[in-house]
Amino acid sequence: MGKIGKWPKKERAMRNIGNYGIIIVFLIIVVLLSIAAPTFMTYSNIITILRQVSCIGIATIGVGILIIMNCIDLSIGSMFALSGITAGLMVSTGKEGLALPAIIGIIVGIATGVVVGLFNGIIIAKGKIPPFIVTMGSMSITRGLALILAHGMPVGSFPDSFTYLGTASIDSNNLVPWSVLIFLSVILLMDFLMKRRPLGRYIYAIGGNEEAAMAAGIDTARIKIKAYLLEGGLVGIGATLLASRLKSAAPALGSGYELDAIAGAIIGGVSFLGGIGNVWGMVLGAVMIGVINNGMDLLGVQAFYKQIVKGTIIIIAVLVDRKRAGRA
């Protein structure tokens, strides 16, 4: 067989940069930060980063899957607000709250995400409208609903039973927070789903070549709806967890999260042209944004500069993506 199945040298090198370039950049940042900030490489700081990343990280996986399918969701930030508020209203012991058991709040929070995802998915798949436009619309609708439900005010007064998951750890020494554990479970579950369930394969196929997927007999509309529903559910989980951690849910919750989530997925190697990417890459992307934020906090960098650094890294990641697209 000889050459078959092997990449020409140059192309192989390009591919490897595509796959591992981000890891190298990540390691460089980690090394630099550990030198510059002695507290960076401590167990408690790492756990802090992971805890901060977990909510947005779950949403990053959601939107990453959509980007693999050559779709997008701009309504993530608003979904954070709406899900957080519906969950919060269920459990709050305040004036507006229903003071229901925490489990009801969690279910309602996640269900809210599912409903918004379903709405997006059905309109995109059945109405054949570009995802960018549909989710830009639902971004506004969802935010509006959040404002109405909360009367423009933050919802608070959550019982401890609800804030437990976001704030507590499974052990008394605070070594393994529940939120990190939930994040890890979502990662493992979604990685399995993308690799080992037909749904995952079909998502790659649609993103790689929708026409071919259709001609191969894949019901592309159905798969799209399922993917959006799944993504909505993930965002719902992330939002509920965030409300639980912050012990409140404001109508402005999660504004700008859609961009952070998309950025995380792209930095993590998901091709904006669709068809390429994996769950662990997305996680790496989300963690990388968390690490940069945390590192700059430790170094006392002004918040304004963070924006520039984050933006620069997104562009570099897409440049790497372009190189890969040029190869394929």
Query: Which residues contribute to the site for another protein (CB under 8 A)?
Result: 1, 4-5, 7, 192, 195-198, 201-202, 204-205, 208-209, 211-219, 221, 275-276, 328
Distance CA 280, CA 72 (A): 19
**CA nearest 227: which of 64, 53, 79, 55?**
64
| Smallest separation, CB 191 to another protein (Å) | 12
| Smallest separation, CB 220 to another protein (Å) | 8
Paired strand residues for 169:
177
Beta carbon nearer to another protein, 126 or 151: 126
Beta carbon nearer to another protein, 2 or 38: 2
**Taking the C-alpha atoms of 206, 207, 208 and 213 in order, what is their torsion angle to the nearest 10 degrees?**
10
What is the helix (H) or strand (E) element at residue 256, kind and residue range?
Answer: none
| Smallest separation, CB 70 to another protein (Å) | 11
Beta carbon nearer to another protein, 160 or 219: 219
Beta carbon nearer to another protein, 219 or 297: 219
What is the helix (H) or strand (E) element at residue 237, kind and residue range?
Answer: helix 220-246
| Smallest separation, CB 56 to another protein (Å) | 28
Paired strand residues for 144:
none
| Smallest separation, CB 195 to another protein (Å) | 8
Distance CA 20, CA 18 (A): 6
Beta carbon nearer to another protein, 151 or 196: 196
CB 222 within 8 A of CB 121: no
